[in-house]
Amino acid sequence: MTDPRHVPPSAGPRYQQVADALARDIARGLYEVGSLLPTEAQLCTLFNVSRHTVREATRRLVDVGLISRQAGVGTRVKARTTAARYTASLGSLSELVEYIHSTRLTLLSAGSVAADARLAETLHCRRGQRWFQLRTLRYPVDRSEPIAYTEIHVPPQFRDIEQDIDGGTVSILRQIELRSGERVVEVLQEIGACAIPAPQARLLGVAPRSPGLQVLRTYRGAGERTLCASLIVSPAHRFTLSTRWRLEQGAPIGPHAPADRASPAPA
């Protein structure tokens, strides 16, 4: 019942049928990876459609990465099949950072520090590197038990960022972006478990060495310059991080609302 060659002439618009046929032929190996597809003119006669239709068809295949076009050269086969890619995406940095909307921050301290051995390892920087450090606690608006302890580190030249940090890391990032003219280009995130050290445990109202989630985020501009690094420590069960990975189909149809977000653990 499942003969792959039995594929009915695919339905839908002509360009889709052409695209499907080409994709099938590529998968079949009729057109090998690296070789050139027939020219658009040839495809026109081959499928008996206008050039516009051929281009609409090949455009789809370009979009899914099967082929690429180059003026003056031709249309080259890039891959035999569309690789399965799973992606997660964020609408903005705030979705990564503001794990709970209705939270408030309190600033514990702000000052210049030099990285000791532990901090250097955590932030992947040289020992002795100087940072301007903000230490904060994040609370749900309606409770007095903090969710997380956060250390935010920025390069010393940004030490005079406005310290109304209620906007959290995002507003700090925005200020840095404005002042440096750089854009956050990538965020490296490392998640692990830890035994919460006594000082933080005291702040968070849990027993020393009790289980905690530790999230390190390094915000980088172009050229791998670190614009900000934040370290979050949160007792177990106070929140979880969720990410939704979705298969990226060839044709990105339909709305997707994937988001990495953190959600509070049920109380």
**CB-based contact 42:85 (threshold 8 Å):** no
Residue 72 or 192: the one with the smaller Cβ distance to DNA is 72
Stretch that binds a second copy, among 4-12, 36-44, 197-205, 242-250 (CB under 8 A): 242-250
Tokens read off for 207: 């027993």
Site for a second copy in 46-65 (CB under 8 A): 62-63, 65
Distance CA 185, CA 127 (A): 25
Q: C-alpha angle with apex 184: 229 to 158, nearest 5 degrees?
A: 55
Which of a second copy, DNA, none is residue 239 near (CB under 5 to 8 Å by kind)?
Answer: a second copy
**Whose Cβ is closer to DNA: residue 37's or residue 229's?**
37
Binding mask 214-233 for a second copy (x = CB under 8 A): x-------------------
Among 71, 83, 257, 267, binds DNA (CB under 7 A): 71
Tokens of 136: 């904060």
* Residue 116: strand, helix, or coil: coil
Residue 202 sits at φ, ψ, to 5 deg, of -65, -45
Pick one of 108, 114, 188, 198: the residue that binds a second copy (CB under 8 A). Answer: 188
From the list 7, 30, 32, 39, which residue makes contact with DNA (rule: CB under 7 A)? 39
Closest C-alpha to 241, from 255, 228, 219, 259: 259
